[in-house]
Amino acid sequence: MEYLIHLAILFAIYAILSLGLNLVVGYTGLLSVTHAAFYGVGAYTTAILLTRSGWNFFPALIIGMILSGIIALLIGLVLSKFKEDYYALASLGFNIIVYSILLNWQKLTRGPLGIPGISRPSIGSLSFSENWMFLLLALILLVIVYYLSRFLVRSSFGRVLKAIREDEGAIKIFGYNVNVYKLTIFVIGAMLAAVAGSLFATYITFIDPSTFTIDESIFVLAIIILGGLANLKGSIIGALILVLLPEALRFLGLPNDIAAQMRQVIYGVILILLMLFRPQGMMGEYKL
């Protein structure tokens, strides 16, 4: 049972990550490959505030979201100068920069040694130290993020995002400041990633830079492509499948020395097949 709870917590974390990225990629058409950077900012902000300053989880979560939003605003201002493939390459570069900072700013982040001893969340006498209680917290935050995302995409703001995705030039003719909309959704996506990062840091109780690499950004991108671009339920289904898939692959009896590599190969084959036969994903409404 404990292992199933562990998988459910990971699912909730990746579902939150995927919802935030789908707002940027699926609904707005911005191919961002820097989501793991904001995931890491949220995780490290929470970890540092909890371990060094004795903060409670929830204020630390809010600070992590604000810091991720500020960084996303600065990065987004630069990314707004790029289009399409160049946008993706520039966002990838920012992920490398953030990873390098986490790795080399040892006085703050402890570099490759990571930050241990991160406490679990609590509210007064109510503690989320038990895994099943932590799962409850993660699911509550997932529901909040889902309904916030749904509100955004169903609002007039969301309709403008879809119009930018379909024809940016046309929406400019009607007087909309496209850059403001793209920057706003980029910041919102980063803040949601910080929520997932805060959860991850306090669940594992240890973080190091290796979790927040480009591979992680690509993995989250694979989740939303599999589940469906511009479909929130697709993000959740994609997270469920790709979190559970490694466990299903255990039954294939792959040798231990090649199991990890074969899983990556299988992920790649799945994505190639989707790009060939269903580029919008399982439930998607948009294709890259």
Burial (0-12, 13-18, 19+ Cβ within 10 Å), 269:
exposed
Lowest mean pLDDT among 20-24, 89-93, 194-198, 264-268: 264-268
Whether 130 maps to a domain, the answer reads: yes
Whether 103 maps to a domain, the answer reads: yes
Structural domains in the chain (count): 1
Q: Which pLDDT does position 244 carry in this prediction?
A: 86
The chain-wide mean pLDDT, for the chain, equals 90
Please identify which residue in the block is written with the tokens 């993995």: 219
Q: Which ranges constitute the DSSP H helices of 231-287?
A: 232-249, 256-277
Q: What is the pLDDT of residues 210-234, one digit of tens each?
A: 999 998 998 899 899 889 899 999 9
Whether 243 maps to a domain, the answer reads: no
Give the structural domain span for 113: 2-213
- Asked if 145 and 192 touch (Cβ cutoff 8 Å), the reply is yes
Q: Which pLDDT does position 252 carry in this prediction?
A: 66
**Tokens read off for 194:** 């910080």
Alpha carbons within 13 A on the beta-carbon side of 221: 24
**Tokens read off for 54:** 């004795």
Q: pTM of whole model > 0.75?
A: yes
Q: Which pLDDT does position 152 carry in this prediction?
A: 96
Alpha carbons within 13 A on the beta-carbon side of 17: 38
DSSP for 181-206, written as a single string: HHHHHHHHHHHHHHHHHHHHHHHHS-
Element (H, E) at 123: strand 122-123
SS3 state of residue 115: strand
| Residue 194 CA to its chain's centroid (Å) | 8
Whether 245 maps to a domain, the answer reads: no
Judged against a pLDDT cut of 80, whether residue 173 lies above it is answered with: yes
- Asked if 65 and 195 touch (Cβ cutoff 8 Å), the reply is yes
Whether 145 maps to a domain, the answer reads: yes
| Nearest residue to 200 (alpha-carbon basis) of 104, 118, 95 | 118
Whether 44 maps to a domain, the answer reads: yes
| Nearest residue to 116 (alpha-carbon basis) of 209, 205, 210 | 205
Mean pLDDT confidence for 257-283? 74
Whether 47 maps to a domain, the answer reads: yes
Whether 285 maps to a domain, the answer reads: no
